Amino acid sequence: MKTSIAIIGAGIAGITLARALAPSADVTIFEKSRGLGGRMANRRREDFAFDHGAQYFTARSPAFRSVAEDAVQAGHAGTWPRAVLTLTETGLAPDSRPAERRYIGLPGMSGFANGMAEGLHIRKEAAVAALEPAKDGWSVTDSEGQDLGRFDVVISTAPAPQTIRLMPEAFSGHAAMKTVKLSGCFTLMIGLDASLDLGFEAARIEDDVLSWIAIEASKPGRPERMALTIHSRNDWAEANLERDRSEVQTEMLAALKRLLGYDFSNATWLDLHRWRYANVEKAVGEPFLFDDALGLGACGDWCLGNRVEAAVGSATALSELLTKRLQGA
């Protein structure tokens, strides 16, 4: 009988880990949301489309570059933008960072994750809330106390603060997880009836409130309706995480008016999303955490850094350890 493994979270780390382990184990992914991809998320509202999480990803290692290019060939990913500018109160300027190939999911950002997840056993809208010792493994239950099954090994790919709450005190990775520092972000989504030529597809913003703006219609595979996605600064979001949402939205709109000269407060569509764990400020500094005696582990971008590729690298490293463990079982 194959070893049974539960993976908590269907973000890129969870999907990468499941893909690697599926040939040699009985793997189930539990995802609390309806969609896959974690922060590689998209939202559709009234014929507007927004990538309201990660805006693109890069692939600097040969292994992940191969995965990304395979996704492009399969139609699950494309490239965007042609250039990233810098927006300040004095206008637009070229980005000073080195140019590199940037990828996005198709037809929305989650399309990349959906393509990677084909063939995997995923239980959506299943929020794992507790792990209890069971005979030779762990019993997994959801937030309503429903039994989700018994597993030999459980791996959490949720953000470190959520994984800390889930793992038993005996888990050897607690001290390392407590060193992780994450920051939040607010995403403002604006849908307009009329098109605007703002002079860019995407821009980093130098401002006290805002950090990024994207023209969604400039991305391949997206609807043509004019939609803007704007991210706040992470430090500003941290200082305002518990603030009234309408006040946050008003201040972000005011910053946008100051930068672009447009008042979007009466736009056809306005929405605000709060990401409590959006950015890795301080990572664990090792690829993954695994307690062999308990059969419990954790991985994710927060182990290595702040990029999609960090999540892939973390999950890949843990999968290599677990595969050796499975082969020796």
Angle between helices 62-74 and 308-327 (to 10 degrees): 100
CB atoms within 10 A of CB 162: 17
The domains found in the chain, sorted by start residue, are 1-36+117-180+284-329 (3.50.50.60), 41-55+82-100+181-282 (3.90.660.10)
User: Which residues are CB-contacts of 101 (< 8 A; sequence separation ≥ 6)?
Assistant: 58, 59, 79
Q: Looking at this protein, which amino acid is placed at residue 274?
A: R
pTM here? 0.95
pLDDT digits (tens, 9 = 90+) for 253-298: 999 999 999 999 999 999 999 999 999 999 999 999 999 999 999 9
- Reading the chain (329 residues) residue by residue, the pLDDT tens digits are 899 999 999 999 999 999 999 999 999 999 999 999 999 999 998 899 999 999 999 999 999 999 999 999 999 999 999 999 999 999 999 987 788 999 999 999 999 999 999 999 999 999 999 999 998 899 999 999 999 999 999 999 999 999 999 999 999 999 999 999 999 999 999 999 999 999 999 999 999 999 999 999 999 999 999 999 999 999 999 999 999 999 999 999 999 999 999 999 999 999 999 999 999 999 999 999 999 999 999 999 999 999 999 999 999 999 999 999 998 75
The values of phi and psi at residue 93, to 5°, are -140, 155
**Which phi and psi (to 5°) does residue 286 adopt?**
-135, 155
- Check if the beta carbon of residue 269 is closer than 8 Å to that of residue 193: no
Q: Which residues of 303-324 are buried (b: 16+ CB within 10 A; e: fewer)?
A: bbebbbbbbbbbbbbbbeebee
Residues 189-208: b if buried by 16+ CB within 10 A, e if exposed: bbbbeeeeebebbbbbbebe
Structure token pair of residue 261: 């000269």
Asked if 108 and 49 count as a contact pair (C-beta separation under 8 A), the reply is: yes
Pairwise CA distance, residues 80 & 179, whole Å: 34
Host H or E run for residue 319:
helix 308-327
